[in-house]
Amino acid sequence: MSPTEAPTADTAPFDVRVLTLFPEMFPGPLGASLAGKALMDRVWTLKTVDIRDFAGDKHGTVDDSPFGGGAGMVMRPDVIDRALSATHPGPGSGRLVYLTPRGRVLDQPLVRELAAEPGLTVLCGRYEGVDQRVLEAWAPEEISLGDFVLSGGEAAAMALLDAVIRLLPGVVGKTESLEAESFETGLLEHPHYTRPQVWAGRSVPEVLLSGHHARIVDWRRAMSEDTTRWRRPDLWDRYLAAQKQEQEGRKEQP
């Protein structure tokens, strides 16, 4: 099914399970705009799991002080294990993801991979994180939003899920909107303009008013390349390497 097709009654929704100490934070922003409409239309489903429900005492204790000393608390492996055992369906149901600064940095290729799954189970850490032993036992895919620290995994989970959900079939109306976005071609997106044609003494570039489709495509490509070169040298280097590899691959073809 293409991204422009609406889901049918026979299409299984993208099944999301979020394990968190703060289930009241969801769906939050995911309940609005495109993701919210898709949730209402059952393009995707959301189940929030309160990790405290799996604590082993009447106080709902989910954390303890770290062995070896140090500041902060660590989420207990036995509690996390019980929560995952009760809620993660296992193989064939989609990946298990743990949001952590130690993880692979989220990028658009990974977002596309996750969107191709039947669903996701997302574990949101708090405090100093989760006991390493339960991570070794369950081997979740560890993902980070970048080189900074949040108060917990919930905000990161919302960002990840928003990126994934908008790629699900039927969520975004026009396929072109997805294909032209930043990172889809390895480049940042070109500048955008709309009415009025002249604003605060600034005019829209003439090429965008020309009606010449090929010239507009060339201009947008050039702007994407210039923007990427100056703003994200790391992306630009990767883009050049990919272009070189592609050219060499063509030369090797008989």
Residues that constitute the known binding site: 125, 145-150
Rounded Cα distance between 85 and 108, Å, is: 30
Gap between the Cα atoms of 245 and 149, Å rounded: 35
Binding-site residues for S-adenosyl-L-methionine, in ranges, read 125, 145-150
What is the 8-class DSSP label of residue 8? Answer: -
Cα(99)–Cα(155) distance, integer angstroms: 10
For residue 19, what is the enclosing H or E element? Answer: strand 14-20
Tokens for 174?
A: 């026009």
Token pair in block for residue 225: 């390349």
Closest CA to 155 of 26, 56, 53: 26
Cβ contact 16:180 at 8 Å: no
